[in-house]
Structure 1
Amino acid sequence: MYSFLKKSEYSQGSGPVTQAEITNKLRQEFPQATRISVEDTSGGCGAMFNISIVTSEFKGLSVMKQHRLVYDILKEQIKNIHGLHLETRVPK
């Protein structure tokens, strides 16, 4: 038997996430970033995002640690996101 829950019943978040919200949060946390790109790929409803970050602040970190850092920063927003494609890099 399957139980179907409304989004509010399984998510602890406070509503739809916006590109601007994610972008602002990342710019605040990565002031040295040469690129922060956030794209809502869900047609504007805030369910799926492509995020790309290029910053020297990732220098010396494995890709896994870079991603963990971003996930930790966006932990509140991720509660309301169904899908996230993340690309992180150090500038060349």
Structure 2
Amino acid sequence: MPITSQQLEEKLKAELQASHLKIVDTSDGCGSKFQAVIVSPQFEGKPLLQRHRLVNTVLEAELKEIHAFSMKTLTPEQWQKEQS
């Protein structure tokens, strides 16, 4: 069964206490390519590489089946600035 954006959202929200998530399946529904915007307080004080590693750890099992996963990781403060 293909991975869905909803599955990824539920897992990231639970594990990272994400305050905002937007995951888009860019593979026409086959669950092999996703783009994500993830806003989490757990990213505070972490450089980009550590943020991405944190997400990759949470989605370790799913990433074995996904061919492409691009992500934008932001702290709540960075997200607020982007929305202004």
> TM-score band, normalised by the shorter chain?
0.7 to 0.9
Number of corresponding residues: 77
Point out the structure with max Rg over C-alpha. Answer: 1
Unaligned runs of 5+ in 1: 1-14
Listed as ranges, the matches of 1:19-58 within 5 Å are 19-31=5-17, 33-58=18-43
Q: 2 CA distance for matches of 1:64 and 1:47?
A: 23
Listed as ranges, the matches of 1:57-68 within 5 Å are 57-68=42-53
Unaligned runs of 5+ in 2: 78-84
| Structure-2-length-normalised TM-score | 0.86
The CA deviation string for residues 15-64 of structure 1, in whole angstroms up to 9 with x for no partner, is: 42111110100010122x22111110000000000011112210011100
Tell me the C-alpha RMSD between the 2 structures.
0.9
Higher helix share: 2
Identity within the alignment, %: 35
| Structure-1-length-normalised TM-score | 0.79
Q: 2 CA distance for matches of 1:70 and 1:55?
A: 10
Matched to 1:23, the amino acid is E
